[in-house]
Chains A and B, each alone.
Chain A
Amino acid sequence: MLFNSLTFVLFFSVIVMVHYSPLAWRYKKTSLLAGSYLFYAAWNPPFVLLLLLSTLVDWHLAQKIHSSSSNSRRKKWLWLSLSFNLGLLVLFKYSGFLLENFQALLSLFNIAVAFKDPGFILPMGISFYTFQTLSYTLDVYFKKLKPHSSFRDYALFVSFFPQLVAGPIVRAKDFLPQLKKQNWISFIAFSLGISLFILGLFEKTVLADAFFAPMVDTVFNSSSAPDQLSSWLAAGFFYAQIFCDFAGYSLCAIGCALCLGFKLPLNFRSPMAAIGFSDFWQRWHISLSSWLRDYLYIPLGGNRLGSFATFRNLMITMLLGGLWHGAAWTFLFWGLLHGLYLVLERGVKQLNFSERLKHSYFTQTLMMVLTFLLVMLAFVFFRANSMQQALMIITAMFTSSEGTALLSWKLWTQIVVAAFIGLISLQILFKNKRLTDILSALPIPARALFLSFCLILIAISSGNSDAFIYFQF
């Protein structure tokens, strides 16, 4: 089910009514669980079985890990959990990609083998819920968490509908305690939840779908090489599109959860205003970057084993982070670029610059612009249909060679550019502020005008109601 669908409004209304009815908490949790499975089944009913299987397997394996007395047995059960979860990902997400590249590799040695594409449908949100269940078994393995006593609560933690298909990736230690008793929220908190949902929907349907996506598609779906202006606009607009799409989804998820009395972690904090790449990753898809940090980078040794090992660990983490987004060389290259950015940044930080220079307004602004541009360049690979297309667009950005003017400088383009600049400016202006604080601090008429503006534009903008980009991951 999509947040930007009318059926979701009906679905959510029923969920809220049941949630605030006089029923006992255990029945409400059961209804939330049933609702979450219904939410998932709306997309493709048979795949709820996969979700259930993933839930059951990790539930039992976590129990096994906890009850095993010897370390070797604990390790064995952990490996089983890792193999199962990563196996699911490989099967559904990467098998076609792996076979295709294995075939290409064999052809280099003149071995002609034709593998048939298995053609699996990618289950929606599989990357999110497998990471969520994995974090549970890993936390139990590292003795940060004891297995939960209620299977229903655990199943609800895995399938909780606001964040099921596109995050934020929630940790068991943060979510399961919230299921102990119902958190009756105030009208203010409920209002904030609804406001976040409206704002998220505005980012998705108006900014991402109606404003940025058509511009981006014009360039990336064309077989002609774009001219310089079109390639710069497409690269910048895609950065804005994916931000509005994904941050919009996260806001909807956080808003819905808040209306039901649950707190989900913040997933984006003005990433366009980041100064440096480690700052960027503390602001962009925070729940994934912290997951990769805690369960991959740190177990690999983090920055504790010297410069070389740190650089290696950064590269491995970012490459796998890139691959997490999709089975294509473009995603892998996107991860590679971010790994390189982080390694370079670490290298530069080790040089001895004076504190005054480091913190001067000029340096900070320069670093912000540089971070923005390099992140934007990396996103060209993320969006491109192939490495060749990405290189073609980047070449067009930096050469004044003849290309097709795929985007013209007409009124609509100017409005989209204004929205793009507005988006960046707001992130710089409210860089370290929470949206809930900003909304709470607004005077009543300003708040009402702002929310009305969002709602009216949602109603009258007829952008394609594309599925959220992150559903495919």
Chain B
Amino acid sequence: MPSSIFNSKTSWLWTWLLVLLICATSLYSYEKFLQKKGFIASIEQNKDLWSWYRSSLGKHKKELVILGASRSQLDLNIPYLKNKLNDYHITQLSINGHYPLYSLQSLAQDENFKGTVLLSLNAQALEDFYFDMQKPHNQYYKNKASYYKSLDAYIQAFLQSKFRFLHPLLGLQDLLNFYEANHRFIDVFYVSNKLDQSVFADYSKTNTQALLKHFVSEKEKNYRDKKPTPPGQWLKNVKKLQTLVKKIENRGGKVIAVRFPTDKDHWQLDEQYYPRSQYWDKITGLTKFHFKDIAGLEQFDLPDSSHLDEKDSEDFTEILIEEIFSGLVFSRNS
């Protein structure tokens, strides 16, 4: 058959219509399949997206930024916070597995930032060897991020937050490797990352006993490997924290430190290595809240000993915010 038949305007029109039909049908079917399996859309958190949110700071009259690691990502319900504090520009900058002191320093050095910081803090986070954990993100923001890269990351994350088939852990290689090892489709993930960088966990989708065992043993190993600095010496780091807080507060900002909950053996380990009376209670010079001091916060179950299930995050956030309100930190919305 001569190629001119296939190369007419009509033939290309039919080609694109067919392409549209095939792509839409295939991706829609795959999306429905994933939905039926219980998958939830999730985004990829990366330095460009973090930079996108970081660059939004210092531009609003009232802003609240959340610094921390996974606890402040999973325990705080950002949609609820946004609804409750609707006159605040709320930014989630927590980074999974990274203590936030370097980010606090970066905000302290940013003269444009005059907002409120909700800082997830515990005694270990103040150790010298953990101070720089969030440095790579901050340095990337300062030296390498660009509006274009951040915008691109945001658009990508926006689409990932809408479609399950764009899930960053559902790549072809991940699917095939899992299939080869287990002879079934990949298991649903219990954690989903949202566009605003908050994280939700549905522990009914995972083996909580195994997870609990894993978290506690990892924490025990971590405490054994990274021995706590004696309290007297550790207090020097509190002074460093106080300097940063002062810098922000002198500009009219505010820093509120929150000790997010841990329970079961995890809490025992925390108390064994960093007894509250010798560490947390010695932190002065900033507004602080310990979960043990807030009525109602201990009632929540932490399935893996360190994080809340998504069904509890709204109630938890409500209690925490009410407590902070009663301390007159925020002006209550009518």
Chain A residues with Cβ below 8 Å from B11 are: 444
**B26–A187 touching, CB < 8 Å:** no
- Chain B contact residues (Cβ within 8 angstroms of A): what range? 35 or more
Indicate if the CB atoms of A187 and B180 lie closer than 8 Å: no
A184 contacts B by Cβ under 8 Å: no
A1 at the interface (CB under 8 A from B): yes
User: What's the Cα separation between A410 and B167 when bound, in Å?
Assistant: 24
Interface residues of A in 428-463 (CB under 8 A from B): 437, 440-445, 447-449, 451-452, 455-457, 459-463
Q: Which of A187, A456, A457 contacts B12 (CB 8 A)?
A: A187
Which A residue sits closest to B7, measured CB to CB? A440
CA distance A188 to B12 in the complex (A): 7
Complex Cα spacing A83 to B232, Å:
64
Evaluate contact between B7 and A451: CB separation under 8 angstroms.
Answer: no
Q: Which of these, A410, A448, A451, A462, contacts B171 with CB under 8 Å?
A: A462
Please pick, from B7, B18, B179, B180, the residue contacting A188 in the complex, using a CB distance under 8 A: B7
A164 to chain B, nearest CB (A): 15
Kindly state the separation between the CA atoms of A5 and B172 in the bound complex, as whole angstroms. 19
B170 within 8 A of A: yes
Q: Give B168's nearest chain A residue, CB to CB.
A: A462
Q: How far is the CB of B1 from chain A (nearest CB, A)?
A: 8
Binds A, one of B146-154, B187-195, B283-291, B315-323: B146-154
Residue from the set A45, A437, A443 with the largest chain B CB neighbour count within 10 Å: A443
- A322-344, CB under 8 A of B: which get 1 and which 0? 00000000000000000000000
Inter-chain CA distance A6–B176, complex, in Å, is: 27
B3 interfacial by beta-carbon distance below 8 Å: yes
Q: Which of B142-200 contact A (CB under 8 A)?
A: 146, 148, 151-152, 155-156, 159, 165-174, 176-177, 179-180
Q: Is B140 an interface residue (CB 8 A)?
A: no
Check A449–B156 contact: CB distance below 8 A.
no
Residue of B15, B22, B173, B180 touching A214 (CB-CB under 8 A): B173
Interface membership of B61, Cβ < 8 A: no
A142 beta carbon closer than 8 Å to chain B: no
Which residues of B252-297 are within 8 A (CB) of A? none
Does residue B80 face the partner (Cβ distance < 8 Å to A)? no
Interface residue B129 (Cβ < 8 Å from any Cβ of A): no
The 8 Å CB contact of B172, one of A6, A188, A442, A461, is A461
CB of A1, distance to nearest CB on chain B (Å): 6
Judge whether A44 is part of the interface by a CB distance below 8 angstroms. Answer: yes
> When the two chains form their complex, are residues B159 and A444 in contact, meaning their CB atoms are under 8 A apart?
no
Q: Are B3 and A455 in contact (CB under 8 A)?
A: no
CB distance from A212 to the nearest CB of B (A): 12
Q: Does A43 contact B (CB under 8 A)?
A: yes
Known A442-B6, A448-B15, A449-B22; contact A415-B176, beta-carbon cutoff 8 A: yes
A456→B27 contact, CB < 8 A: yes
Q: Is A27 an interface residue (CB 8 A)?
A: no
Task: Say yes or no: B15 contacts A459, CB within 8 Å.
Answer: no
How many A residues have CB within 8 A of the partner chain? 40
Residue B224 is within 8 A (CB to CB) of chain A in the complex: no
What is the minimal beta-carbon distance from B210 to any residue of chain A, in angstroms?
25
- Is A210 located at the chain interface by the 8 A CB criterion? yes
Can you name the residue of chain B whose Cβ is closest to the Cβ of A9?
A: B155
Task: Point out the residues of chain B lying under 8 angstroms from A455, CB to CB.
Answer: 19, 23
Q: Which of A44, A447, A459, A463 contacts B165 (CB 8 A)?
A: A459
Q: When chains A and B are docked, how far (Å) is the Cα of A114 from the Cα of B23?
A: 59
* Interface membership of A411, Cβ < 8 A: yes
Interchain nearest-CB distance for A237 vs B (Å): 14
CB of A444 within 8 A of CB of B14, answer yes
CB nearest neighbor in A for B180: A411
Nearest residue in B to A440 (C-beta to C-beta)? B7
**When the two chains form their complex, are residues A42 and B146 in contact, meaning their CB atoms are under 8 A apart?**
yes
CB-CB under 8 A from B168, the residues of chain A are 462
For A7, the chain B residues whose CB sits under 8 A away are 148, 151-152, 155
Q: B18 — which chain A residues lie within 8 A by C-beta?
A: 444-445, 448-449, 452
Answer yes or no: B331 CB below 8 A from chain A CBs: no
Minimum CB–CB distance for B2 against chain A, Å = 9
Is B33 on the interface with A (CB-CB < 8 A)?
no
A210 touching B12 by the CB < 8 A rule?
Answer: no
The reply to whether A441 and B6 contact each other, CB–CB distance below 8 Å, is: yes
Taking a contact as CB atoms under 8 Å apart, the answer to whether B148 and A42 are in contact is: yes
Instruction: Decide if B221 is an interface residue (CB 8 Å cutoff).
Output: no
Docked-complex contact A452 and B177, CB < 8 angstroms: no
| Closest partner residue, chain B, to A42 (CB atom) | B148
Does B299 sit within 8 A of A, measured CB to CB? no
Say how far B16's CB is from chain A's closest CB, in angstroms: 7
CB neighbors of B among A356-396 (8 A): none
Q: Which of B14, B19, B171 contacts A452 (CB 8 A)?
A: B19
Does A149 interact with chain B (Cβ within 8 Å)?
no
Which chain A residues lie closer than 8 Å to B30 at the CB level?
Answer: 460
Distance, CA A437 to CA B3, complexed state (A): 9
**Would you call B7 and A210 a contact (CB within 8 A)?**
no
Q: B8 in the interface, Cβ–Cβ < 8 Å?
A: yes
Min C-beta distance of B237 to chain A, whole Å: 32
A44, A459, A462 — most chain B CB neighbours (10 Å): A462
Q: Tell me whether A43 and B146 are in contact (CB under 8 A).
A: yes
- Kindly state the separation between the CA atoms of A456 and B155 in the bound complex, as whole angstroms: 19
Q: Shortest Cβ distance from B189 into chain A, in angstroms?
A: 14
Let me know if B180 and A456 touch, CB within 8 A: no
Q: Which residue in chain B gives the minimum CB-CB distance to A8?
A: B152
Residues on A with C-beta less than 8 A from B26 are: 452, 456
CA separation between A411 and B155, bound complex, in Å?
Answer: 33
Given A6-B152, A460-B27, A461-B172, 8 more contacts at CB 8 Å? A2-B152, A188-B12, A412-B177, A441-B3, A448-B19, A448-B22, A455-B19, A463-B173
List 6 A–B pairs whose Cβ atoms lie within 8 Å, in order of A's numbering. A6-B152, A7-B148, A43-B148, A188-B12, A442-B6, A457-B172
Q: Give me the 8 closest cross-chain CB pairs, A-B, nearest first.
A: A462-B171, A448-B18, A42-B148, A452-B22, A191-B12, A441-B3, A440-B7, A411-B180
- Hey, which bits of chain A sit against chain B, CB under 8 A? 1-2, 5-7, 10, 42-45, 186-188, 191, 210, 214, 410-412, 415, 437, 440-445, 447-449, 451-452, 455-457, 459-463
